Structure 1
Amino acid sequence: MTSFRGLLAYLVTPLTPDDVPHLDALGHLVHDAVHEGVDGLVVLASSGAGVTFDAAERGAVVHAAVTAAAATTGAAARRVPVHVAVGGTSTREVVARARAARDGGADGLVLAPFSYLPLVEDEVVAIFDAVADAVDLPVCYYNRSVQTSYDVTPTTLAHLARTTTVTAVKDPASLPSRPGGRVAALRSAVDGLGVSVGLSGDPSLVTDAEAADAWHTGLAGLVPREYVALRRARVDGDVPDPDTAAWLRDLTGVLAGLRPVSGFHALANLLGTPTAPPRGPSLPVDDDGRRRLAEVVARRPA
């Protein structure tokens, strides 16, 4: 069973010029992330554009990631777990994806509950109930409150931890309308339940995010060396290397001005991972955005 703790790298899904998953390139991303010491991998989440792939493509991505992770020994000399995002627009689709992920060798599931219309609490709980009934894998609740118009409460998270297979939450590190102390509130609600409280949002993670059990980040899948070093320094109470910290701040600053998945694909190319732009409706990064990314990449610390 995976704990969803530490640094979790959310990988992009590289594409060939023919617009199909580039499995060799994905394997290299897995190898590099594991080799540099990340604690877990996630495929087919938002940075991996999972909702744009059909069942066969998703199965191929999961198989490639699981195989590459099993074949790579990281800095900790242990097998790094592979988690699969299984969000979908219907409970039936979510359950089918959860079962396929289990059959493909996934160690855990990441689930952002969403639908065409905003969900209410009872509907959200019912989705996690259905997954727990169908698949015996630990689940990380992916709280995409801005996109889904539903923000999980500490009370609901505790209920899910007691009644379903939810063992973790991925929560936004910073929201304009949310007061401080969110991590403490979530931890208090799930005290004694073994739930990992993790944060996402690169601009906050590389600057002033609250201490948390996990960092969930797409950028760590592309620059794992720098992110692992930053995370370890923060956990150990050390001062991060100033050059690395400054470079990550500059990189997240540029990415914040680009479309999220498109920016990651452009960055992947600049870092040597071949990929076409993400599938539409996402549009490729324009020339100015690529130039600004290239300027930061050229200053990457040795």
Structure 2
Amino acid sequence: MFTGLSAFPLTPMNEKGIDEEAFVQLIQRAANAQVDSISALGSTGSYAYLTREERKRTAKLAVENAGGVPVMVGIGSLRTRDVLQYAEDAQAAGVSAVLLAPVSYQPLTEREVYSLYETVTRSLSIPLCVYDNPRVTHFTFRDELVEEIAQLPNIGSIKIPPVALNPTEAKERVSKLRTLMPAHVKIGISGDWSAAAGLNAGCDVWYSVLGGLYPEASLRITRAAQAGKAEEALALSERLEPLWALFRQHGGLRVVAAAAEQLGIGSSPNLPLPIQGLDEEARQQLREVVARLL
């Protein structure tokens, strides 16, 4: 479950609801490319903006259309009570794992975050991936907390923020994390521009925004790293730097939402308000980058 490429698809939507046809198209696109897993309702999947019924429906559609590819879904929410409900719904839908970030409005303490994972893991019969995304949650996991949470039952992976592009620094970071966690807990890299560096440094899985729309491009990088072809993986990633620059400037969600529109997947707008898509200048930049690189 927690190896190789995990594709994080967009959940196309408007104020009337989810564009189910477009979402299914994205799931099938990833499955047909033979990604290693599909992670629906991640940050790119806009889980935080959906109702419980919308999340249940999205999880069901993902599992039904994944063609046997393992599916993970996000269960994050402000209240532990709601997280537990989303976890129950996800398991009923037949997912293979769940993804949980410490979502908050009031800043959370380390004790509160640990309690969240302790409570949720006790209710699970499937693995959980700890989602460390300080840019979104405004909570930073100290290594000591990671070590403590990793000992809980049903912890299967931790999704870490981008690593340094310097190979030595990246390897030191991943190696240190390895010493803190049981061997069965896998390390996943996020921040697509640092994925090649993370995989080369020993991360087990790439949790990929790009993979949710262009799985083939992400698979080429992943498979090169898995084969020990570190220079090839880095070269493939460096070639995509104009795209990574757009990700860093505008956020991966807005970029892949615009790219999906350009591919004719779903309609416009396809993001939950108040989030708005790219302006026309950025869209033109994206069209040029995609035409040249993907």
**Amino acid aligned to 2:271:** P
Q: Which moved further from structure 2: 154-163 or 127-136? A: 154-163
- 8 Å CA contact 1:206–1:248 kept in 2: the answer is no
For 1:98 and 1:185, how far apart are their aligned partners in 2? 30
**Amino acid aligned to 1:80:** V
Change (3 A) 1:243 1:198: closer
What is the match of residue 260 of structure 2?
Answer: 268
Change (3 A) 1:253 1:133: same
RMSD: 2.2
- 8 Å CA contact 2:150–2:182 kept in 1: the answer is no
Q: Secondary structure at the match of 2:13?
A: coil
Change (3 A) 1:242 1:146: closer
Give the unaligned 5+ runs of structure 1: 73-78
Equivalences for 1:226-245 in 2 at 5 Å?
Answer: 226-238=217-229, 239-240=231-232, 244-245=236-237
What is the match of residue 137 of structure 2?
Answer: 148
What is the match of residue 132 of structure 1?
Answer: 121
For 2:146 and 2:197, how far apart are their aligned partners in 1? 27
What is the match of residue 271 of structure 2?
Answer: 278
For 2:36 and 2:151, how far apart are their aligned partners in 1? 25
Q: Which moved further from structure 2: 205-214 or 5-14? A: 205-214
Change (3 A) 1:266 1:191: same
**Amino acid aligned to 1:220:** G
For 1:146 and 1:131, how far apart are their aligned partners in 2? 23
Change (3 A) 1:254 1:198: same
Q: Which moved further from structure 2: 181-190 or 204-213? A: 204-213
Change (3 A) 1:125 1:270: same
Give the unaligned 5+ runs of structure 2: none
Change (3 A) 1:149 1:244: closer
**Amino acid aligned to 2:77:** G
What is the match of residue 34 of structure 1?
Answer: 31
Q: Secondary structure at the match of 1:146?
A: helix
1:102 matched to 2:91: yes
For 2:232 and 2:32, how far apart are their aligned partners in 1? 20
Q: Give the TM-score normalised by the residue count of structure 2.
A: 0.90
1:4 matched to 2:29: no
Q: Which moved further from structure 2: 167-176 or 119-128? A: 167-176
Q: Structure 1, residues 56-90: CA drift from partner, whole Å, max 9, x if none?
A: 11111111111001xx3xxxxxx311001011011
Task: Work out which of the residue numbers 259, 283, 293 in structure 2 matches 1:290.
Answer: 283
1:200 matched to 2:190: yes
Q: Percent identity at matched positions?
A: 29
Q: Which structure has the highest helix share of the two?
A: 2
For 2:147 and 2:211, how far apart are their aligned partners in 1? 29
Q: CA deviation at 1:98?
A: 0.8
For 2:22 and 2:108, how far apart are their aligned partners in 1? 36
For 1:118 and 1:112, how far apart are their aligned partners in 2? 13
Q: CA deviation at 1:243?
A: 8.3
Q: Secondary structure at the match of 2:151?
A: helix
- 8 Å CA contact 1:261–1:282 kept in 2: the answer is no
Q: Which moved further from structure 2: 26-35 or 102-111? A: 26-35
Q: CA deviation at 1:173?
A: 1.6
For 1:261 and 1:126, how far apart are their aligned partners in 2? 30
Change (3 A) 1:203 1:132: same
- 8 Å CA contact 2:188–2:204 kept in 1: the answer is yes
Q: Structure 1, residues 156-179: CA drift from partner, whole Å, max 9, x if none?
A: 323223223211100012379xx7
**Amino acid aligned to 1:287:** E
- 8 Å CA contact 1:271–1:297 kept in 2: the answer is no
Q: Structure 1, residues 137-187: CA drift from partner, whole Å, max 9, x if none?
A: 2100000123333322333323223223211100012379xx752211111
What is the match of residue 20 of structure 2?
Answer: 23
Q: Secondary structure at the match of 1:141?
A: strand
